[in-house]
A and B are shown apart, each in its own frame.
Chain A
Amino acid sequence: MSGEGIGRGGTSGERAGGGRVGIVLVSHSAAVADAVAALARGLAGGGDLAPVAAAGGAPGGGLGTSADLIASAAKDVDGGAGVAILVDLGSAVLTVKALLAEGDELPEGARLVDAPFVEGAVAALVTASAGGDLDAVAAAASEAYAYRKE
């Protein structure tokens, strides 16, 4: 499984600003996005964590995907080193892809990461908090696919 994703140009870690990679978690459910963010923070261990933001639910609440919430979450966690966006399914995937392909709503260096949502979020946050660049964060999150449970 490759850590490549589609993105808005620019590789991480080389930009001025020197911040860590930010992470955005996009779920159809605000409760799921918030809980996975809390889980990732909890499992990532103590210390100084990289920024992670949840973008869950539809515009105005309910189940669905909000492009505006995604854009504002990405802006919040963008420290100039890139933003790794993890998504659950369906419209969450399509909305992030559409924003990356057509729009200017997401920061430079934002990238959709192909990863399992929960496991990928933990791996991404651990890697970003340790100072990994966007490629390393994306690769760690994608590698979570390879961990078999039986």
Chain B
Amino acid sequence: MSGTYGAGFAARWMAATAEAVEREAGRLTELDAAIGDADHGANLRRGFAAVADALAKEPPATPGAVLVTAGRLLISTVGGASGPLYGTLLRRAGKALGEAGEVTRTELADALAAGVAAVGQLGGAVAGDKTMLDALEPAVAGLRESFAAARAAARDGALATVPLRARKGRAAYLGERSVGHEDPGAASSALLFDALEEVAAG
């Protein structure tokens, strides 16, 4: 499958993510209540609602600018650690897309890979630490194949965090007690790729 994706596509992706987060906010908060501080759903809902609102009011001209705007807003509106983490993911990915008006799926994957690397650097985490990276890294690898593969890989990656012991973030304080719960950040990362596949499928 080939094709290119513009600013409208990127904005629809962010809007669909906002809807998915809105729909799943309760589940994200429940996951976070188990091993965190029970604010992940509410925080992300506020952040992505602000993103969707801003993009609808003033749509940027390029997909890169859409992601940079989204990232900046997440950093300023979320209020929890997911703000700078998702904000860095999208802002770095947006910068990597540059000024292009249309990008390919492969270019999007490359840009998101740069974003994911920046997230790892920011949080000092690696795959297997029971963080959002456990969904994001396989998702970006899957995106090189297809949007559907990215979605499936993100889901699988999020579920694979269940048996892991958290090594980063507040959940790390729980040690062994973090085992047996899905990581909320990995779960919300999977929503990002659910939304991407939905929007790509039209």
Contacts and interface: CB of A to CB of B under 8 A. Distances in A.
Contacts of B39: 64
B79 A59 contact: yes
Interface in A52-69: 58-60, 62, 64-68
A95 B77 contact: no
A145 to B, nearest CB: 18
A102 B91 CA distance: 7
Nearest to B77: A59
A102 B71 contact: yes
A91 B75 CA distance: 10
Contacts of A35: none
Given A91-B84, A97-B122, A102 B92 contact: yes
Contacts of A99: 75, 84
Contacts of A102: 71, 75, 87-88, 91-92, 95, 118
Given A101-B88, A103-B72, A94 B123 contact: yes
Interface string B73-84: 001111111011
A64 B46 CA distance: 13
B83 A65 contact: yes
Contacts of B81: 90-91, 94
A137 to B, nearest CB: 24
A98 interface: yes
Contacts of B87: 98, 102
B122 A67 contact: no
A101 B170 CA distance: 23
Given A94-B122, A101-B88, A64 B79 contact: yes
Contact of B79 (A66, A97, A98, A101): A66
Interface string A91-109: 1001101110111000000
Contacts of A58: 79-80
Given A91-B84, A94-B123, A102-B91, A62 B79 contact: yes
Given A95-B83, A98-B122, A67 B76 contact: yes
B65 to A, nearest CB: 14
Contacts of B84: 67, 91, 94-95, 97-99
B169 interface: yes
Nearest to A66: B79
Contacts of B72: 103
26 contacts: A58-B79, A58-B80, A59-B76, A59-B77, A60-B79, A64-B43, A65-B79, A65-B80, A67-B75, A67-B76, A67-B83, A91-B81, A91-B83, A91-B84, A94-B85, A94-B122, A95-B83, A95-B84, A97-B84, A98-B84, A98-B85, A99-B75, A101-B121, A101-B122, A102-B87, A103-B91
Given A98-B122, A102-B71, 19 more contacts: A58-B79, A58-B80, A64-B79, A64-B80, A65-B79, A66-B79, A68-B76, A90-B81, A91-B80, A91-B81, A91-B83, A94-B122, A98-B83, A98-B87, A99-B84, A101-B118, A101-B121, A101-B122, A102-B95
| Pairs of residues from A and B, 5 with the lowest C-beta to C-beta distance, nearest first | A64-B79, A58-B79, A98-B84, A91-B81, A94-B84
